[in-house]
Amino acid sequence: MNLADARHDGHFTPAPGTGGASTATFWAEVENGKITVEGKKVATFADPSTNGDEGAKAQSNCAETNYTNGSKKFPPESTALPWNEVTSATKEPHYVICGFTYDLGLEHMSTFTSGSKEEPTEKAERTQYDYYNFVLADGVGGGQTLIGEETDYLGLPAAIKKIAREGIERLSF
C-alpha cells in the first residue's frame, strides 16, 4: 500500500493530538537501510512520511532513495530504453520500499491499432502530448507542483524530468 492510500480517509493516521510515538496510533516505521554498530550490520527504521505521525498530508520520505534497473545505474539514458525493471538499489542506504511510477507514451501513435472501429487520431496524440507536458510542468498549476504539495507522493528528480521532457518530444502522429 502506498503512503497516500494508507493515509486516505484516516486509515493509519491518528486524530489530531491522539497519536504518534508512544501512543496506540502511529505509523509503522519502515526499514531505512543498515548501519554498522560494534562491527555488526543493524537495520535502521524511519517514518514513511516527511511529517511523521500526522493526519495531514506531506510527501513520501523517498527523496534519498537510489534507483536501478537491477544491473545498471538508473535512470536509463532515454525514454526509448526499458524502464520496467526500475527498483530501489539492492544495497540501498535509505528506503528500500520506495517505488517509481511511470506512464507509457506511444511514438507514432497512428501505427498502433486497437482492433476497434476507432483508430488513433491526431487529437488523441495531442491529448497524450498535452497530458505529459502537464505532468512534467513546474510552477502554479503544473503537475510536478501539484504532486509535490502535500499529496503523500514525491515529484520527479530533475534528471528524470529532463529525460521525460526529451521523451515527450519523440511523440508524434
Residue 104 lies in a domain: yes
DSSP the chain: --HHHHHGGGTT-PPTTT-STTSSS-PPPEEEEEEEETTEEEEEEE-SBTT-S-SS---BS-TT--EESSSSBSSPSSTTS--TT-EE-TT-SS-SS---------TTGGG---SSS----HHHHHHHHHHHHHHH--STT-HHHHHHSSSSS----HHHHHHHHHHHTT---
Domain extent for 33? 3-168
The answer to whether residue 159 sits within a structural domain is yes
Q: Is residue 119 part of a domain?
A: yes
On whether the pTM is more than 0.85, the answer is no
Assess if residue 173 is contained within a domain. Answer: no
Q: Is the residue at 116 inside a domain?
A: yes
Residue 72 lies in a domain: yes
pLDDT by residue (tens digit) across 21-65? Answer: 666 666 667 777 778 899 998 888 877 788 876 667 788 888 888
Residue 69 in any domain: the answer is: yes
- Band of residue 137 on the pLDDT scale cut at 50, 70, 90: very high
In a domain, 122, yes or no: yes
Q: Report how many domains make up the chain.
A: 1
